[in-house]
Structure 1
């Protein structure tokens, strides 16, 4: 999969927030970012307030309003900034973020928030970020994730890739995509009952309707009865037959047998009871 090279990207100040960090440019090491990879974010800034010991930088990836992942770093200890950093002194901050392999392929927002050592807000900026199609789907799907058209399309693309799905025509592709979206909604409904321990996820059958799955996977009937002689091959059957009859030939099986005729049953004896 081709990956973009490092380049500056656009950003904006979070709604209702300020940028006391004085960010002038933001660069991603790759764009789009691949799930399971490490993204390096480089920020050039000239703060308008002094950055003190204990300042933190938090990196959140948001799908709509829902956080997919969050990473927090100590500005002074983890990011190489000499603190206190006086206002007006330019600096470069680089942050390595391990993108979860479960991150969905979608256009997301990277929200970078800086908080000073005394807990006061310094800066908040939103940066658009594209997560490319992953090699595998996440093991489960939270009920809190908004199933946008873009997210479903990207997850369906990953589904087809992961399970080697090929459809005959556009009509079947559209039908399977509809079934897939319905499966995602059922997954979310069931996971919502489980709360913090979701266990339902996508399988290779997720492009089937419920009715189709039941018809194809839950109604198996063996075409041959369990006692049908054809279930074993002729050679095995003949060997067993020879073993049972001791190489003797038998007439047709009798419908009844009185063992008294053969002296196999003795008279009743008094056992002294």
Structure 2
């Protein structure tokens, strides 16, 4: 008798539960929303809006068909959403920015450094272009001077785009601005060194003058922030160069840099 009553009670409770779940079904879980994309680019020279990055024309593997018997199709260049929603700059877009916008600076070369026999003039338009770009994006109180960048390159690589510091691993530095492989990881946010405006380059791409100068200037801005915190006062761009080079002001290499910079400013 008791077992029958218990069974009926259980059946009654189950019916009540089913009615409640039918009348009030559990909400369908929704996926995490993608970060909103700002319709405006971070700079007028950028192709994609903030929160997206550019990817060039590239092949894509598909199921073989009459239209694509080899199983490969071509995808046109397009903007891709960043998972982080932050500013990400890749080499494809760096190249397009330089091609479309840096020609104007060829009409206004920077002062010449005589000891390099005009070899230094080859990169003036790239130096000016990326200096203006990063000044516009990062908005420092004291804008970076392209002549300072030119003096930095003169003492880092002597305007040799294939320069190498003869080291291996993450301390290997190559290219005009001698950006190390470790620095590339910092710039790409592998170690959360930067808060925003990240750069993504492959190690061999530092041998390209355009990419090297872009990365070197971005890193110089970060070094100025570090110098500010180290010296306990507002750091100058020369202080930032000292931090970039890991040299004290009385080091011969720093003195050479200051000498060249002064010559460019005369």
TM-score band, normalised by shorter chain = under 0.3
Which structure ranks higher in relative contact order (CA pairs < 8 Å, sequence separation ≥ 6)?
A: 1
- The structure carrying a bigger helix percent of its residues is 2
Higher Rg of the two aligned structures:
1
TM-score (norm 1): 0.27
